[in-house]
Structure 1
Amino acid sequence: MQPTHHRCETLVIGAGLAGISTALELLERGCQVLLLDAAPRSQCGGQANDAFGGMLLCGTPEQRRNKVQDSPELLLEDWLRVAAFDADDHWGRRWAEHYAERNKADIYDWLRQRGVSFFPAVQWVERGNFGDGNALPRYHVAWGCGRGVAQTLARRMFEHAGLSCLFEHRVLGLETRNGAVVGCHGRSGSGDFRIEAEHVVLCSGGINGDLARVRAHWDPLYGPYPENILNGTDPRADGELHGQVQAAGGQVVKLGRMWNYAAGIAHPEPQYPQHGLSLIPSRSALWLDARGQRIGPQPLVGGFDTHDQCKRIGHLPGQYGWQLLNWRIAIKELAISGTDSNPHFRDRKLLPLLWQLATGNRQLVRWMVERCPDVLAADTLAQLAAKMAALAGDGRLDQDLLAATLARYDAGIRRGPALYNDEQLRRLQQLRQWRGDRVRTCAPRPIHDAGSGPLIAIRTRLISRKSMGGMLTDLHSRVLDGHGEPVPGLYAAGEAAGFGGGGISGIRSLEGTFLSNCILNGRRAAQTIAGDA
């Protein structure tokens, strides 16, 4: 059976947020686009459909209303310090400079003009353990979460007559002629296909859905590859096209740089092997090692340095930790990252969200305790410890040490704020100074406290999430060859390109740089193809 042939002006491979942004920008400029994806049309939007929807932005009206005076210069200063670029990270650094300068106009304003709005409170994430992260609150959560962003743009995209789509078509390779990329070939349910195109834009995601590839590129900075790692990324994000880019002469760089999380828990209804959920971990919980001893001497506190959390969990015996907290803390502070785990954000319901912030998310915590295998609850510490030991099954937990650790911490709280001499308590006091964090952070009270139960323990593991390396691109989103020259006809955007330049974030992200760079990279590729970059 002969393959089906298609011809187009621009072929966009991947219908996630980067592909949608690329296609929409081209269509609005009067260009013709063929959008192709391995998934069905109902899953258009890809991983953005499941994302919480946070974006790192500066100079916005939301910042000004929250009395935050930010600037591109300050953002870039923070970015460069956190990224710690190597000497060969030329294009990653150039993209970072471009992002700092253009994020307000090219991401925020562009989204607002197309019907996307943001929650009025700006969050302050990735502050850094020593003030070496975000100097200011910059994390903007889109109303509707990631799905709302992706579907709002997709609806506009599908309105254009210049769009053709091929869903449930999987690309198996790129077509080249005289050193140029001129299309692709692959397979669908109805047979093989071949596409000829003047321009090919790869928006095919990263490698982190394929744990074999994650293992192959694992950086020992995070300890040995963890056999208990969880997968928080659709397995279809397998990096297959990275090899095709290399075969076509393009560079793929820094795949060992990943943005994983340290607070993964097993999904109670897994859709694929090792499927996990990524917690937004409680700040007031004690983070303990497998023995029940507090991780230290610098305590782990959520919201400060995700990169450091991953390193420290990855080097622990057993490569897992325990968060120890109680019901009062859990309903105020615990959350799961993602669209469907945050229905009030997803459905843009402000009043129910404000009520939940004031009274606690009992429904979520009850679901976690009842359904999630890594979340345990008990009325007494002895009962909880027995459940922890049974779940771990490795004989590491020392119940006496666990009790002594908790008693020591609680005693420090009972002495009162004037006598706090614990780094975690100091951080909690700092967090509560910012209004966006105050509503999500409990005032310090003992964990083993009458009326605050039951006690809760959560086993946390590393969870695979994002590729921060990828296809090397210049500021026009053109894929570069081994000599630093563009591969004719080939572009990349989003996670496939390490979110820009093969690694716009260096070794560590300021958080909220992933969805936003899918938009920035994709629009830049489209502008180049349309001749307007």
Structure 2
Amino acid sequence: MIVKSDVIIIGAGIAGLVAAYECLNQEKSVLILDRNTEEHLGGLAKLSFGGMALVGTPLQKRLGIKDTPEIALDDWHSFADFGPNDLYPKLWAEQYVNESLGQVFHWLGSLNLHFFPVVNWVERGLYKRGNSVPRYHVLWGTGYRLVERFVELLKKHKHAKNLKIIFEHKVTDLIKENGRIVGCIAEQEKTGNKELSFYADHVMVATGGITGCLKKVREHWYKPWGEAPKEMLNGSHPFADGLVHDAVKKHGGNLTHLDKMWNYAAGIPNPNPEFEGHGLSLIPCKSALWLDHSGRRIGPEPMMTGFDTNELCRRISRLEKPYTWQLLNWRIAAKELAVSGSEHNPMIRDRKLVSFLREVLLGNHRLVRQLQKESDHFIVANNLQELTDKMNQLNGDQSIDYEVLKKEVTQYDDVIRRGKGLWNDDQLRRIQHARSWRSDRVRTCSPKPILHPGAGPLIAIKLRLITRKSLGGIQTDLQSRALDTLGAHIPGLYAIGEAAGFGGGGASGFKSLEGTFLSGCILTARAAAKSIKNNISQ
């Protein structure tokens, strides 16, 4: 017996959940197939910090931020560096800046999902302009609450009987009949010994990207950067391996910009790994010194977060060794250090406002102590000689010379001691710039010498590049319909979220303004559902 649904959604991340919700609103029957277990429903979105780049919101206006789609699109193009043939990525970028206010901010608000009343300023740009104004909004409850809420909406939906979710099933191929995608083939993830066929009028690919497969990351590494680092951490998930991308390509779909990725420069091994190479992505401290494997400050321009994440990854990929160090003290860590994601931000995730404000004002000593206890890559010492010894011990060599490390730190501290009017170090100039915006000021230390005796123990963190998001993927039009290599629609097939490069097979271009991922998932999913509602499938 052939079981047929109106819609099959491959992948139960936030794009898949949003698409399912919108399709249930149309009284469609929906089948979601997901490779993971039920406890991981929501995918990486559930683990995310919940930040979204939104344009012209009431929160921005309340804070005196003048932002418009025109300003945002200009910033977007500056970072994206689109090519002349990037028609659909450009169209999706324009759609994003025009629709994020209504289709994301206000829509989520109507579903009782709200943002913390502070707008952060990330990806300000280094050599090219990035975000010219703050527009990074953090969902109150993080990505965990976003997923939790959509699970609630699906379970309580008046058409909930029309939804079926099958877990631990890996889609290996699509079914094509008379030029139309009419279903997919899946097998049980653990056994892999029985193929099952599922049929639907519409099939949506919502499987994420390729950055969970380090082999594919290396295969598609951006060639002008040379070879990929010999050591990388996985900040995605092994199931984000591009398997369904390959199936789409097999049936004529166009894969684009797979060499464009959004990785992070400050990863450490996850103390509680769920898979091989599992990493945690730190939000590195602006006031820390960023050093190479020998303990020398990376230069000539100092590395510092908050301005151009992509450039940090490029510079790290070109270093002699595939790891770096951040050197700081407890004072800096307590105020500035964070781990990206919901797991290590329980006060925001669990919406404990008083506790969260206490950590912001008094320092997040809880997190610093947790990392000290759990991670061997997070080294704490009472003096610089002890720190050097522990760093070399972790490496199993003597690559860091105490005198070299001491010179780097004391030179930086000496500049700070000269006084603000004589700060000619570019890192200090950028710290001053960051502190000029109120939300960054409370999370960025006023410069004081790192070796200041009252600043607490010294800290060194060993970092590696960590993968995260694919900026390229399955090419789509503005209705999220998958396109073939000639630009024609593949009837019955859609791609949403990261699988579609967050729209058009690469809406961000070369660099993201950050925060365009969760909101990109929402926009592309809603576009696909609207296309189905309007019967735009041919």
**For the superposition of Structure 1 and Structure 2, which TM-score range results when normalised by the shorter chain?**
over 0.9
> 2:202 matched to 1:205?
no
**Residues 15-54 of structure 1: CA distance to partner in whole angstroms, max 9, x if unpaired?**
1000011111111123221222122233211110100000
1:495 and 1:514 in contact (8 A); partners too: yes
Structure 1: tracts of 5 or more residues without a match: none
Matched AA of 1:196: Y
Identify the match of residue 309 of structure 1 among 301, 309, 312.
312
The CA distance in 2 between the partners of 1:130 and 1:65, in whole Å, is 30
1:314 and 1:320 in contact (8 A); partners too: no
**Residues 176-222 of structure 1: CA distance to partner in whole angstroms, max 9, x if unpaired?**
11111110111237943211111101101111111111111112444
Identify the match of residue 39 of structure 2 among 21, 24, 42.
42
> 2:507 matched to 1:510?
no
> 2:361 matched to 1:358?
yes
The CA distance in 2 between the partners of 1:163 and 1:412, in whole Å, is 63
Aligned position for 1:193: 196
**CA positional deviation for 1:270:** 1.4
Aligned position for 1:61: 58
| Aligned-partner SS, 1:384 | helix
**Residues 226-285 of structure 1: CA distance to partner in whole angstroms, max 9, x if unpaired?**
221001111111110011001111111111110000001111121111111000000000
1:16 and 1:203 in contact (8 A); partners too: yes
The CA distance in 1 between the partners of 2:199 and 2:325, in whole Å, is 53
The CA distance in 2 between the partners of 1:367 and 1:412, in whole Å, is 32
**Residues 124-157 of structure 1: CA distance to partner in whole angstroms, max 9, x if unpaired?**
0000124611000000000110111112122112
> 2:434 matched to 1:434?
no
Matched AA of 2:163: L
1:381 and 1:455 in contact (8 A); partners too: yes
Matched AA of 2:38: R
Q: How does 1:28-177 map to 2 (within 5 A)?
A: 28-130=25-127, 132-160=129-157, 161=159, 162-177=162-177
Matched AA of 1:81: S
Matched AA of 2:177: R
Question: So what's the TM-score if we normalise by structure 2?
Answer: 0.96
Matched AA of 1:165: I
**CA positional deviation for 1:389:** 1.6
Aligned position for 1:519: 522
Question: So what's the TM-score if we normalise by structure 1?
Answer: 0.97
1:144 and 1:347 in contact (8 A); partners too: yes
Aligned position for 2:299: 296
| Aligned-partner SS, 2:118 | coil
Q: How does 1:225-304 map to 2 (within 5 A)?
A: 225-304=228-307
1:82 and 1:508 in contact (8 A); partners too: yes
Aligned position for 1:180: 180
Matched AA of 2:104: I
The CA distance in 1 between the partners of 2:231 and 2:31, in whole Å, is 40
The CA distance in 2 between the partners of 1:31 and 1:201, in whole Å, is 14
| Aligned-partner SS, 2:3 | strand
**CA positional deviation for 1:168:** 2.3
Q: Which runs of 4+ in 1 moved over 3 A?
A: 189-192, 220-223
2:79 and 2:128 in contact (8 A); partners too: no
Aligned position for 2:494: 491
Aligned position for 1:24: 21
The CA distance in 2 between the partners of 1:375 and 1:220, in whole Å, is 32
| Aligned-partner SS, 2:389 | helix
Matched AA of 2:166: L
2:78 and 2:128 in contact (8 A); partners too: no
> 2:375 matched to 1:378?
no
**CA positional deviation for 1:532:** 7.3
Aligned length: 530
1:5 and 1:193 in contact (8 A); partners too: no
Matched AA of 1:438: R
The CA distance in 1 between the partners of 2:169 and 2:270, in whole Å, is 29
**CA positional deviation for 1:396:** 2.8
Matched AA of 1:182: V
**CA positional deviation for 1:373:** 1.8
1:259 and 1:466 in contact (8 A); partners too: yes
Structure 2: tracts of 5 or more residues without a match: none
1:479 and 1:486 in contact (8 A); partners too: yes
**Residues 485-522 of structure 1: CA distance to partner in whole angstroms, max 9, x if unpaired?**
00010000001001110100000000000000000000
1:255 and 1:467 in contact (8 A); partners too: yes
The CA distance in 1 between the partners of 2:507 and 2:459, in whole Å, is 38
The CA distance in 2 between the partners of 1:338 and 1:481, in whole Å, is 35
| Aligned-partner SS, 1:231 | coil
Matched AA of 1:408: Q
Identical-residue share of aligned pairs (%): 48
Q: Pairwise CA RMSD of aligned residues? A: 1.4
2:75 and 2:132 in contact (8 A); partners too: yes
The CA distance in 2 between the partners of 1:416 and 1:492, in whole Å, is 55
